Structure formats: structure tokens, C-alpha cells
Amino acid sequence: MISDVNSSTSLNYSLNQFCKDIANGKYYVLSINLQENGNIIAALQLELHNFKDKSNSVMSNKSIENFIEKQNFKFEGRSWARFNIMLVSFLGFCRDVNPWSIWDSCDLIFQFYQDFNNCLINDSYPLDPLVPIFRNMTEYVLPIASKLDANCLRIGTKKNQFLSFASSVISKLFNSVKPSRTNDGNVIQSGDLIDFPQKQKILLYLVNKLNNIYFRIDSPQLCFNVFKNFKPKSMITEFGVYPIKEQIEYKYLLGRYYLLNGRVINAFVQLNDAYTRLRNLCDKCNLYGHDQVRRNLLRILRYLIPTGLMIGKLPKFEMITQIDVSLSDKYANLSQTLKTGNVKGLNIWLKSHERELCERHLLVIQLEKLPMICYRNLVRSIVRQCIIPQNSGKIPYSTVHDALKISIGDPSNDSDEHFDIYNGIHRSRNVENVLVTLINLGFLRGNCFPQLKLCVVKKTALIQEVLPSIEGRILSSFALNDDDSWLND
């Protein structure tokens, strides 16, 4: 596209040439990216500022509207009011844009972005040539919105106003996407994107952009309707038909959404699939040396690793080390802490990474899930070292109490005098509570007898018969979302 623009651009470009290009379907001239289309925009600005009018040398809004109306653009024999409004908006942008200041030009940029999007709502017009232009424009507009929001944050004005506005524009287009139907009302579906309308082809792109913005503006709850309506809007029967990069992005975002809502197994499945698909793509195309690929792998792993640990799955740290040594070391430390049932170590780890975990919305769910993994592994050590060798099948409360005391460590953390979010539930006196909770979760097979102060388990040399795998128990208790079944190739 850039080469096409450059081949036709010079300061001799005129309004008449612009109208001819539009009439001939050369919509790339509508780009507001100054790096791509700066020559055309500069030439149009020059002409718009030297317009011969009785009242003003600068072409007024009314004069621009009249000029566009006179062109009498027709589409399949019909006039298109929203298209004309969009052209007026573009020429207004060309006239008033300040190439040296995004701030001075932001109203023009977002007004044109909105007006262009409005052209794509009504499917009765020939929209397909415009859709790729909108996609390119979105890639241009969103970084600008982020920069403007960052500036607003520094000066203390309204938070996320530009990204929020951009999301409302994209959401309007997403809501307008509907599957084509046959004369008898049945949805036309296929396993191939080739013959579908352009809006269908960018549907997953819109989904990902919207959800990314919602996470960035701290409104992830808005993702619900996007995820819910994606499949009903799609004419594609097989998710794998979409571009692989968009598949990976979708699964990553869906995994994060599930994690935010406490659906750990669903989160792990989606995040792990996103990671696996990206690794497979790297293997196939030899992409490991690319910084962007490494960043994307790291982006997934920051959520996949803690999610896996919450269901008892340990990652291959030697593989993670190749991607990011710091991340590998950090979670290898946590993994060892959980494996040994070290409650004190767990609290220290969570406290030392509190800010990062809060920023990623991981602190609360880890505070909820990880202590029980820690307790389970502590009881596992007791069973392996004391109960199985004696073949007694009885776990005395006193043994668990002593183990809890050692695990909690600092006596100040084992009393109610120093109470915080980390040590609040960890007391060595809570032996029965710990054991009953493990039994209820399915992490421990046994029965508690409070009067005898015993937990009775099966007499066996196989520890998995007393403490089954965490992942298996969670999978049996929390089913995967059936709505996601079509995402599996």
C-alpha cells in the first residue's frame, strides 16, 4: 500500500485528484498516517488553506460539505450519506492537522476514526474495500491513544479516556458483525475464510483488540460479552482457520479472563494452549531469535506458570531459563517452597512480589489457592516419612501440629498479635481445619476423628492412594467450559 501511495504522491496532488481516486476505489488515500500518506495530506492542506472564497481563504466546513456533495459519489446506484460524512471528516483532518503535535490533532484523529467506522456498520453497502483501511487505521490510532492517556495520567486528568473512546468505536463495529444467511434464514458457515465478507475475516482481530483494551483500562469484566458473542457472530466452523497469531492472542486473553474470575483449570488450558501454539510456530518457522517472539512467550508464561502451580503442575524450568532467567529463578523458588510445604517461605515470596502480583491481578487468587497446595505437600511429607513406614494408617493431630509449627516458622506469625493478609489464616492450632479442608477438596483421602485427634487414611505403600494428584482432583471437580470446545482443532 505504501508503494502505491508514494507512486502517486507529490505536492501537486489536488482535491480533484483525491475525488478521482475515491471514485476509482483507491481508498488508501484516506490514510491519516502521516508517515505513509504525509505527501497527500500536505498537498490537500495547502489547497484547503488557499481556497478562494469571498469570506475566507481557508475552506470552511460548509464549503467542504458542499464540495463533497457536488461529487455525487454513487455506490451500486445509491448515494451513501455516511461515506460523504467520512470524506468531509478526512478533508477537515487534512486542513487542520498539526504534523508536529498529536495533542493538537487528537480530536481530528478520533473524529475521523469514528466517522470511518460509521461507514462500516450498514452491510447493504460495499464495505469490503474499506475494512482493511479501518484495520490499518486501528493499528495507527491505538498507540496514539495510549500515548495520550499516559500524558493525561501525568497531568492528573481523566484516566484512559482515549483508549476508552477507541474501544467504543471498535465495539460498535464488533456489534455490527452478523453472519450471512441463506434465503430460508440459515447461517452460512464454512471452514474457510476466503469467500467470506471482510468484516468476518477481521472478527477475531476485533475481538482481540477489544479485550486487550479492556484489560489495559482495568475493565476486564467487559470482556464477557465479547467472548460470549464471538462464536455466534462467526461464520467459521473451525477456530483453527483464523490466523495463528490471532488464535494465540485469543487464547491468551481468554486464559487471563478465566484466571481473573477464579476458573483456574479453564485458565490453565487456554494459557497452555496459547503457549504450545506459539512454541510450535517458533519450531516451524525458526523464530526463537526474534525479540518480539521472546516477549510474547514471556507474556504468556507470566500467567501460565502461576496458574500451573495452583493446580500442582510444575513447569520445565530449564526451558523457561532459555526465555527469561529472572522469571525462571523466581518461580523455581516458589515451586520449591510449595513442594516442601513451607508456609513461611510462601508468605515471604508472596510479600516480596506483592506489587507485581497486584499489577497482574494474581495476588488474591494465589493467596486463596497456594496455601492449600502448601498444606497438602506438608501432609504428604508426613504420610511418606511417618505413616507409610509404620503402616499405621493414622495421622495424629499432634504430628500435624508440630509440622505446622515448623512450617509457619516465626512464632509471631503463629499468633493473633501480628495479623496481616499473609499470616491471617496460618495457625498451628488449626490442625483439624487444615485436614478437613484437604479432605473436602479431594487432596487427601481420609476421615477425621476429633475426639481421638486422629485422621485415618488407607494403609498402603502407594502415597497416591492417600494423596491423589492435585490436577486430577481439580479436573474432576471443575469441568471445562463446553463453549470453548470449538477452539480445539
In this predicted structure, the answer to whether residue 10 has a pLDDT above a threshold of 60 is no
Q: What is the pLDDT of residue 413?
A: 61
In this predicted structure, the answer to whether residue 1 has a pLDDT above a threshold of 50 is no
Angle formed by the axes of helices 203-216 and 161-176, to 10°?
150
Q: What is the pLDDT of residue 475?
A: 75
Q: pLDDT confidence of 488, banded at 50, 70, 90?
A: confident
In this predicted structure, the answer to whether residue 173 has a pLDDT above a threshold of 70 is yes
Q: Domains of the chain (ranges plus CATH)?
A: 372-487 (1.10.10.10)
Please state the rounded mean pLDDT for residues 253-265.
96
Q: What is the pLDDT of residue 6?
A: 45
Own/partner long-range contacts of 84-92 (Cβ < 8 Å, ≥24 apart): 85/115, 85/118, 86/30, 86/112, 86/115, 86/116, 86/118, 86/119, 87/22, 88/61, 88/64, 89/115, 89/116, 90/30, 90/32, 90/116, 91/15, 91/44, 91/48, 91/59, 91/64, 91/67, 92/61, 92/64
Q: pLDDT confidence of 415, banded at 50, 70, 90?
A: low
Candidate ranges 109-118, 149-158, 311-320, 462-471; pick with highest mean pLDDT: 109-118
Would you tell me how many other CB atoms lie within 10 Å of the CB of residue 190? 14
Please state the rounded mean pLDDT for residues 213-226.
96
Q: Report whether 147 contacts 123 (CB < 8 A).
A: no
Residue predicted with more confidence, 433 or 474: 433
Please state the rounded mean pLDDT for residues 79-98.
96
Please state the rounded mean pLDDT for residues 403-411.
86
Which of 26-35, 274-283, 372-381, 412-421 comes out lowest in average pLDDT?
412-421
Residue predicted with more confidence, 252 or 238: 252
Please state the rounded mean pLDDT for residues 185-214.
84
Place of cell 473436602: 440
In this predicted structure, the answer to whether residue 134 has a pLDDT above a threshold of 50 is yes
Residue predicted with more confidence, 415 or 403: 403
Q: What is the pLDDT of residue 56?
A: 64
Cell of 389: 513406614
Angle formed by the axes of helices 291-310 and 264-285, to 10°?
150
Q: Report whether 198 contacts 254 (CB < 8 A).
A: no
In this predicted structure, the answer to whether residue 424 has a pLDDT above a threshold of 70 is yes
In this predicted structure, the answer to whether residue 5 has a pLDDT above a threshold of 50 is no
Report the C-alpha gap between 345 and 343 in whole angstroms.
5
In this predicted structure, the answer to whether residue 323 has a pLDDT above a threshold of 60 is yes
Q: What is the pLDDT of residue 9?
A: 46
In this predicted structure, the answer to whether residue 7 has a pLDDT above a threshold of 70 is no
Q: What is the pLDDT of residue 45?
A: 95
Strand, coil or helix: what is 449?
Answer: strand
- Sheet containing 446-449: which strands, arranged edge to edge? 394-396, 454-457, 446-449
Place of cell 488407607: 458
In this predicted structure, the answer to whether residue 412 has a pLDDT above a threshold of 80 is no
Q: Report whether 148 contacts 162 (CB < 8 A).
A: yes
Give one DSSP letter per residue of 145-182, joined into a string.
HHHHHHHHHHHT--TTHHHHHHHHHHHHHHHH----B-
In this predicted structure, the answer to whether residue 32 has a pLDDT above a threshold of 70 is yes
Q: What is the mean pLDDT of the chain?
A: 90
Please state the rounded mean pLDDT for residues 77-100.
95
Please state the rounded mean pLDDT for residues 428-434.
90
Please state the rounded mean pLDDT for residues 454-466.
93
Q: pLDDT confidence of 183, banded at 50, 70, 90?
A: low
Which of 38-47, 184-193, 368-377 comes out lowest in average pLDDT?
184-193
Phi-psi region of 185 (alpha: psi -120 to 50; beta: other; left: phi over 0): left
Cell of 81: 450519506
Q: What is the pLDDT of residue 122?
A: 93
pTM score, whole prediction: 0.90
